[in-house]
Amino acid sequence: MPRFAPSIAFMFATALLLADTAHCLGQTPVQLLHRKKLSPTADSLPRIKNPTPAQTKINRHLQMVDSEARGSAQGCTGLDEQGDNMFFQRDIRVTSSGPLFLSVEIHEGAGCGGVHPYNASFTLTYDLTTGALVKWSKYLTRTRAKDLTFTPLTEGMILPAVRSAVLEKLFVAGWQDRQGCTVEAVVGPDSKSEAELTDFQLSAATGGLSVLPVNLASAASACAAPVILGKSGMDELGIPQNIQDALLHQ
């Protein structure tokens, strides 16, 4: 084989990657269909209009998640054993509809007869090309990241999460205290072992990468709020440039 063949192969692969990136960035966001609420206090998830075969998988998963939430909404009504009103609330916000990802932010609150009301914030982020839930650890090329899972109590599903010392540092730097919620209440003390680091869900959001703490203790769950990382934060994490471009220019 000629000595220049590896260089040609590398150039060809690079050209394909750039072409694929340009194609993705040239695509328009998907159109979404907004559906009837699950209950007067519970939003339903959107569906993709005219989906590709891969996006049909996304619609099926969205349907499954809605079905689980509908059961919670129907079960958390009336009075509990103590005579208190039970409730289920669910707010939905689409933070990205393409071209690379569909990201949906979900905020839930429920009082279904337990000792404490349940509060949770989590995200669903799908790859619009493959239809799969995104595992963000593969995009964190400059930090050691551990793959984890997060299971919202009312949804009956397992979602990807990630743990990283650099990610936690960036989250703390971007955090702003709000009523009754400090960064220490969410992530704990500064000095801790790797096993004690906070778990995060990442998602596409206007202006960059959303970093949302999950798997929090019940007392801190109501304080879960995202921090949005811009270009400098994504550079520190090693997010590939094509992904950054998609997040910053959606």
Domain ranges within the chain, ordered by starting residue: 18-248
Predicted local distance difference test score (pLDDT) of residue 194: 84
Candidate from 89-93, 161-165, 245-249 with smallest mean pLDDT: 245-249
Q: Is the dihedral of CA 232, 201, 125, 72 positive or negative?
A: negative
What are the backbone dihedrals phi and psi of residue 203, each rounded to the nearest 5 degrees, phi first? Answer: -160, 160
Q: Give the pLDDT confidence of 108-120 residue by residue, as tens digits.
A: 988 887 767 788 8
Query: What predicted TM-score, i.e. pTM, was given to this entire model?
Result: 0.85
64 half-sphere exposure, CB direction, 13 A CA radius: 10
Candidate from 100-109, 117-126, 199-208 with smallest mean pLDDT: 117-126
Predicted local distance difference test score (pLDDT) of residue 14: 37
What are the backbone dihedrals phi and psi of residue 62, each rounded to the nearest 5 degrees, phi first? Answer: -60, -40
Whether the Cβ atoms of residue 113 and residue 86 lie closer than 8 Å to each other = yes
Residue range 16-42: mean pLDDT, rounded? 72
What are the backbone dihedrals phi and psi of residue 181, each rounded to the nearest 5 degrees, phi first? Answer: -130, 115
